[in-house]
Amino acid sequence: MIKKRPKTIGILGGMGPEATARFFELLIKNTAATKDQEHLKIVVYCYPQIPDRTRAILYGGQDPIPFLLEGLKVLEKAGAELVAIPCMTAHHFLPALKKKTRLKIINLIAETAKWLRASKPEIKRVGLLATEGTIATRIFQKLLAREHIQVLTPKDHIQKKVMEAIYGKKGIKAGFTKRKARHLLLEAASELLSQGAEAIIAGCTEIPLSLTQKDLPVPLIDPMVIGARAVIEKAGGKVR
């Protein structure tokens, strides 16, 4: 039997750069390898100039699709065969992107929904910490509903605190992952728990940079980890 050649993974990143670096690291750490040569080929394109996704969705900001397509073309020319985009809000644009690229784009949110049903069947209600743009698109709600899981979101005044934790002057995108950002996210998580959340989904790639499982009394579901493991498997690698 001829062994299939593993596929080259592409990461379309920069949304933000630190989350991109973490996703690359997760691919490495979750690959079952005992030496360099057993790891997968990975091409990373960090493109921070991609316009803000939430601003485009909610406030008529610059369309990120042309920039995302430009990034996909760079990855394709570099030899990537399947791609992950470590930005949850950007997943709203996947249907448009898939129509204009030959690359296989892995939906990290869909992989998370499938993993939850298979691995945590007892969980029926999850709290979602994400950007306003992600919540407005209802992409998590739609995909998790297929698995019969209810998604709870923060009240408006609490959601503003989540956005401050991510985008504020002392927020995660500005390089401040602890103190105020962590406190604001814990406040939001607490509000979701009071609504009956049985787990918290880190629905923005920046959130796990500040919030960890040790901070919560319920499971913290990280689409970055779940997605990285799914990407490794789909590329033909061995998952640790």
**Residue 46 annotated in active site:** no
Alpha-helical regions (H) of 120-210: 132-137, 139-145, 156-167, 180-194
Alpha-carbon span 158 to 192, nearest angstrom: 10
Residue type, 66: P
The one catalytic residue in 19, 204, 216, 224 is 204
Nearest to 82 by CA among 5, 14, 4, 10: 10
Nearest to 15 by CA among 170, 131, 153: 131
Alpha-carbon span 41 to 61, nearest angstrom: 35
DSSP helix/strand/coil, 76: helix
User: Could you identify the residue written with the tokens 């498997």?
Assistant: 233
Alpha-helical regions (H) of 83-155: 94-98, 108-119, 132-137, 139-145
Residues 6+ apart with CB under 8 A from 200: 126, 127, 128, 129, 189, 192, 193, 216, 218, 219, 220, 221
| Cβ neighbours of 132 (radius 10 Å) | 21
The one catalytic residue in 80, 83, 87, 110 is 87
Active site residues: 87, 204
